[in-house]
Amino acid sequence: MAVGIFDSGLGGLTVLDAVQKRLPDLPIVYYADSAHAPYGVRKADDIYELTIRATQDLFDRDCDLVILACNTASAAALRRMQESWLPAGKRVLGVFVPLIEALTERQWGDNSPPREVAVQHVALFATPATVSSRAFQRELAFRAIGVDVEAQSCGGLVDAIEDGDMILAEALVRSHVDALKRKMPHPQAAILGCTHYPLLEEIFQDALGSDVEVYSQADLVAASLADYLRRHPGIAGDGSGTRFLTTGDPRRVSGRAVPFMKRDIQFEQA
Ligand code: DGL
């Protein structure tokens, strides 16, 4: 048994890396649905179908807990999966809530009514599907009042990162930040709402300016997973090591993974 970590492609490796640093002995199966990436340009129903297919595959490989390390899947599919699909004894968690709890200075499980928080002008950078779902704004509204969110849909960025074209990726970040600043000239905080984007965190920070606090998910999700596993002992299982699966071409995907992990990893065919 192991914990499943799922993404449409390589972005979830940013979460995996943070999880491995915090929980080095945790058995993990990482699953990249590379054959169908990017998800961010797909319709919500399509993302839902692909996400349940991949999650079922991880359940069949004996994972009782799957982390959707993909904002697009978390935004378009998680709630529907939890409400109408999840098999008994299995759990799926997303990546939005730990981030929003950090932004709104809440501890896990604090379900008190929404309240005013320090930050009032927030920029959200995410895929087109995440932006159009408005899932981030919905989850935020459960916890905070008076926060103005301006969402910038970062078309093309996941493709450029998956293709390893970091020159194009940097140019896209700068143009998406410019577009955001035309709508919200002075954000106080910026959310990197896609697990691919931490690879470009320095570029986002540089383009936004040092007075903007940039929130990226990997460490927050890892901390929240460690807390969850403390509260649910046994769910991680008794396997060992990490396996990497892809629905794409394992050789190509393994080659593209190096910038994310800073070391060689070998993907197997899912
Ligand atoms: N890493 C995914 C996310 O967090 C990328 C989505 C995509 O495949 O477009 O949204």
Q: In the chain, list all ranges with CATH 3.40.50.1860.
A: 2-94+218-269, 97-215
Please answer whether residues 131 and 72 qualify as being in contact, where contact means their C-beta atoms are separated by less than 8 angstroms.
no
Largest CA distance in the chain: 51
Per-residue pLDDT of the chain (270 residues; tens, 9 = 90+): 899 999 999 999 999 999 999 999 999 999 999 999 999 999 999 999 999 999 999 999 999 999 999 999 999 999 999 999 999 999 999 998 899 998 998 877 788 889 999 999 999 999 999 999 999 999 999 999 999 999 999 999 999 999 999 999 999 999 999 999 999 999 999 999 999 999 999 999 999 999 999 998 999 999 999 999 999 988 887 878 999 999 999 999 999 999 888 889 999 999
Is residue 154 annotated as a catalytic residue, yes or no? no
- Is the shortest distance between the CB of 90 and ligand 1 below 6 Å? no
Is residue 70 annotated as a catalytic residue, yes or no? yes
From the candidate CATH numbers 3.40.50.1860, 3.10.510.20, 2.40.40.20, 3.30.428.10, the one assigned to the domain spanning 2-94+218-269: 3.40.50.1860
Q: How would you class 262 by CB atoms within 10 Å of its CB: exposed for 0-12, middle for 13-18, buried for 19 or more?
A: exposed
Q: Which residues of 45-66 are buried (b: 16+ CB within 10 A; e: fewer)?
A: eebbebbbebbebbbebebbbb
- Is the shortest distance between the CB of 19 and ligand 1 below 6 Å? no
In CATH terms, is domain 97-215 a member of 1.50.10.20? Answer: no
Please answer whether residues 30 and 12 qualify as being in contact, where contact means their C-beta atoms are separated by less than 8 angstroms.
yes
Please answer whether residues 257 and 131 qualify as being in contact, where contact means their C-beta atoms are separated by less than 8 angstroms.
no
